[in-house]
């Protein structure tokens, strides 16, 4: 087995996502295998450079790649006295004076991002930022012009193809001048890396035709994962095991409420369905979570629980979702809306929405409104949207898990269901550690009176020598001492008592509890609309609609495995998220590196073609290539 190790180097490398992916890559052609070694990177962010060292294991040079003119345009001021423009010598020094076989360039993309208004993108500040794309390519070509880099990967946001068109045209001409075949395309990092997010990016790949005659093929496509496949392997948000990056972001109370009303898979437009009267929701009321099925509604095909003595909607699940409409009541079809996959009723002469089911739930979009992912909730089994550096509420998940020690208390597991995890404190008060056992062990024909209680005014059954469990050997005794009447100490003890907000509390005893006195309070307070806090609100679909934690974003980017611990440089979630959002997903970079390793191995072995089901990324003019090969043969 012949082994080769190729070198990679990064421009605007950030925290090192692309470099980490290259390090994981391995390619094989016949008896030859190739791996990648990172020889360094360049970035102007000191914190990102420290993260690069932690994630990749090599130094990242802190270097400003602006020209003086670009610096002034971006910062609006002259650079400090010790500032100077970067040169080709600085680039070679950052690489440790080693030759890279591939250079990965991921220039700043804010100027071409769709999150930036078109008018702002044309200002001198963001035009200077966009010009870094051309500046990086030129510095790279000049740094190794005597021994050109074999392969180049240039990636950015998709809108660069339109907002930076003039720069891309110059880059292609520049690369052609230095002997490169270039292809301009786009890809989805999620599909080539098998991620749990869809991340579409602009991509330009180039190979030096004299040094690499073999075609460069695209990586094979994979399927997107659901976010739950990643998040489900991580601790619950806020768990100390996840560290400071796994804390739930504090959002304004009004934002939490909005998220709870956004349908999973939708965005802020779900809020348009809510009825507002005098600034308040007309059809909903936010209340603390209650137990025992408070205001519960049974599905039409569900079974009913035990009927209590006072079966009211407010003290249990004593309501039903009845799908039947009143007979012969045509008015109940007014404003009816048909599902997209259902047939329509008969078309009659009068067919307005107010006269029948003459409306349809049309799933097709009528255009793409601006910021159409605001407050978007990602279903647990769907892929996330692209992780960006922006700090907002466009990245949320419908999390079916429950947080806190009270969820599942006194739950009873059905006989044909699996039980939850058995833990050290597995009692009925701590989870679903009871079972609805259909077996009695007592045939109906025998011992039919087991544990039976005889009413006080009825005769007892035959007295036998057996214990009370064997027959009707217990009695419902109504005599004083059991009933609660005025003067009874228990009656006046305030058990389950609730104190008004403006009333004083009684003396606090050592055993004060909600069930042995007035130890509860009617608290009228609710958070103000702009108060920042962490809230758990059960959404309409029964899940917790919440933002992704910073650690979850890192896992979705494949920067870490979900079970790993990560703590980036600094203490700011906003700075962490920006660096994570700017990173190239390592799994996507690994897929690119593996096809590049294959191309280099083919070039080294003298092969120029490989049978492959994937398209060719970079193909030079066929005639020019054939002429070049003939000259070499001669």
Checking if the pLDDT of 321 tops 80, the result is: no
Q: Does domain 2-225+583-633 fall into CATH 3.40.50.1820?
A: no
In this prediction, residue 471 carries a pLDDT of: 58
Between residues 330 and 58, the one the model is more confident about: 58
Lowest model confidence (mean pLDDT) among 6-15, 178-187, 246-255, 345-354: 345-354
Q: What is the mean pLDDT of the segment spanning 550-577?
A: 93
Q: What is the mean pLDDT of the segment spanning 159-173?
A: 92
Six-digit token pair at 451?
């544990």
Task: Give the residue carrying structure tokens 């010790």.
Answer: 82
In this prediction, residue 61 carries a pLDDT of: 96
In this prediction, residue 626 carries a pLDDT of: 34
Residue 231, CA atoms < 13 Å, CB-side half-sphere: 28
CA dihedral sign of residues 288, 290, 295, 297? positive
Percent of the chain with pLDDT over 90: 36
In this prediction, residue 179 carries a pLDDT of: 94
Q: 3-class DSSP state for residue 596? A: helix
In this prediction, residue 368 carries a pLDDT of: 52
Q: What is the pLDDT of residues 427-446, one digit of tens each?
A: 555 665 677 777 655 555 45
Q: Are 45 and 73 in contact (CB under 8 A)?
A: no
In this prediction, residue 60 carries a pLDDT of: 97
> 8-40: b or e for each residue (b if 16 or more CB lie within 10 Å)?
bbbbbbbbbbbbbbbbbbebebeebbbbbebbb
Q: What is the pLDDT of residues 243-277, one digit of tens each?
A: 999 999 898 998 888 888 888 888 888 888 899 88
Lowest model confidence (mean pLDDT) among 191-200, 398-407, 466-475, 597-606: 466-475
Q: What is the pLDDT of residues 114-130, one digit of tens each?
A: 778 888 888 999 999 99
In this prediction, residue 109 carries a pLDDT of: 78
Q: What is the mean pLDDT of the segment spanning 498-527?
A: 83
Q: 3-class DSSP state for residue 51? A: helix
In this prediction, residue 443 carries a pLDDT of: 53
In this prediction, residue 569 carries a pLDDT of: 94
Indicate the burial class of 487 (C-beta count within 10 angstroms; 0-12, 13-18, 19 or more). Answer: exposed
Average pLDDT for the chain? 81
In this prediction, residue 83 carries a pLDDT of: 94
DSSP string, 436-483: -----SS-TTS-TTTT-EE-TTS------SS-GGGTT-EE---STTSS
In this prediction, residue 469 carries a pLDDT of: 52
Lowest model confidence (mean pLDDT) among 29-38, 192-201, 597-606: 597-606
Give the rounded distance of the alpha carbon of 331 from its chain centre. Answer: 44
Between residues 467 and 184, the one the model is more confident about: 184
In this prediction, residue 622 carries a pLDDT of: 33
Q: Are 29 and 125 in contact (CB under 8 A)?
A: no
Residue 463 binned pLDDT confidence (cut-offs 50, 70, 90) = low
Lowest model confidence (mean pLDDT) among 142-151, 269-278, 576-585: 269-278
Highest-confidence range of 186-195, 397-406, 491-500, by mean pLDDT? 186-195
The DSSP H or E segment spanning 574 is: helix 573-582
Helices (H), 11-149: 17-24, 46-56, 68-75, 88-94, 118-121, 124-130, 132-143
Q: What is the mean pLDDT of the segment spanning 357-362?
A: 72
CA atoms of 430 and 436, how far apart (whole Å):
17
pTM of the predicted protein model:
0.66
Q: What is the pLDDT of residues 15-63, one digit of tens each?
A: 999 999 999 999 988 889 999 999 999 999 999 999 999 999 999 999 9
């Amino acid at each position: 087995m012949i082994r080769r190790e190729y070198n990679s180097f990064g421009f605007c490398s950030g925290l090192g996502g692309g470099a980490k992916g290259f390090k994981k890559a391995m390619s094989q052609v016949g008896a030859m295998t190739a791996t990648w070694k990172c020889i360094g990177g360049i970035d102007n962010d000191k914190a990102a450079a420290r993260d690069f060292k932690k994630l990749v294991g090599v130094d990242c040079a802190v270097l400003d790649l602006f020209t003086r003119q670009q610096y002034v345009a971006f910062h609006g001021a002259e650079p400090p006295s010790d500032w100077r423009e970067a040169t080709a010598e600085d680039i070679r020094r950052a690489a440790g004076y080693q030759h890279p076989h591939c250079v990965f360039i991921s220039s700043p993309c804010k100027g071409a991002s769709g999150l930036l208004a078109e008018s702002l993108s044309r200002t001198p500040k963001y035009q200077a930022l966009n010009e870094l794309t051309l500046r990086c390519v030129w510095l790279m070509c000049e740094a190794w012009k005597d021994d050109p880099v074999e392969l180049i990967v240039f990636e950015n946001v998709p809108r660069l193809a339109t907002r930076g068109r003039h720069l891309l045209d110059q880059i292609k001409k520049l690369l052609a001048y230095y002997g490169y075949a270039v292809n301009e395309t786009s890809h989805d990092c999620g599909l080539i890396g098998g991620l749990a997010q869809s991340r579409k990016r602009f991509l330009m790949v180039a190979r030096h035709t004299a040094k690499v005659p073999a075609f460069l093929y695209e990586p094979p496509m994979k399927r997107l994962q659901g976010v739950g496949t990643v998040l489900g392997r991580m601790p619950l948000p806020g768990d100390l095991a996840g560290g400071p990056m796994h804390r739930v972001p504090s959002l304004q109370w009004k934002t939490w409420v909005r998220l709870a009303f956004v349908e999973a898979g939708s965005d802020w437009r779900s809020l348009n369905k809510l009825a507002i009267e005098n600034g308040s929701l007309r059809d909903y009321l936010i209340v603390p979570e209650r137990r025992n099925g408070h205001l519960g509604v049974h599905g039409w095909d569900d079974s009913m629980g035990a009927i209590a003595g006072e079966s009211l909607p407010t003290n249990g699940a004593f309501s039903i979702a009845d799908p039947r409409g009143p007979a012969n009541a045509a008015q109940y079809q007014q404003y009816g809306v048909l599902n997209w996959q259902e047939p329509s009723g008969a078309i009659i002469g009068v067919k307005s929405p107010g006269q029948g089911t003459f409306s349809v739930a049309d799933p097709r979009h009528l255009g793409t409104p601006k910021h159409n992912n605001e407050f978007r909730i990602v279903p647990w089994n769907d892929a996330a949207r692209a992780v960006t550096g922006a700090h907002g509420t466009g990245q949320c998940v419908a999390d079916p898990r429950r947080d806190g020690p009270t969820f599942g208390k006194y739950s009873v597991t059905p006989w044909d269901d699996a039980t939850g995890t058995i833990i050290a404190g597995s009692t009925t008060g701590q989870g679903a550690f009871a079972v609805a056992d259909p077996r009695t062990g007592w045939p109906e024909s025998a011992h039919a009176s087991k544990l039976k209680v005889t009413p006080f005014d009825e005769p007892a059954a035959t007295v036998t020598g057996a214990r009370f469990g064997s027959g009707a050997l217990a009695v419902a005794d109504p005599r004083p001492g059991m009933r609660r009447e005025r003067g009874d100490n228990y009656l006046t003890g305030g058990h389950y008592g609730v104190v008004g907000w403006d009333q004083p509390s009684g003396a606090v005893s050592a055993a004060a509890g909600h069930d042995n006195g007035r130890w509860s309070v009617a608290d009228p307070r609710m958070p103000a609309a702009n108060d920042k806090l962490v809230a758990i609100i059960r959404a309409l679909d029964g899940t917790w609609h919440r933002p992704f934690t910073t650690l979850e974003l890192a896992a979705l980017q494949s920067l870490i495995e979900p079970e790993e611990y990560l703590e980036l440089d600094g203490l700011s979630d906003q700075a962490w998220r920006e660096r994570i959002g700017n990173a190239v997903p390592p799994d996507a970079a690994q897929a690119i590196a593996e096809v590049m390793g294959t191309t280099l191995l083919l070039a080294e072995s003298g092969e120029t073609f490989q049978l492959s089901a994937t398209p060719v990324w970079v193909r030079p003019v066929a005639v020019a290539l054939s002429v070049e090969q003939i000259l070499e043969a001669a």
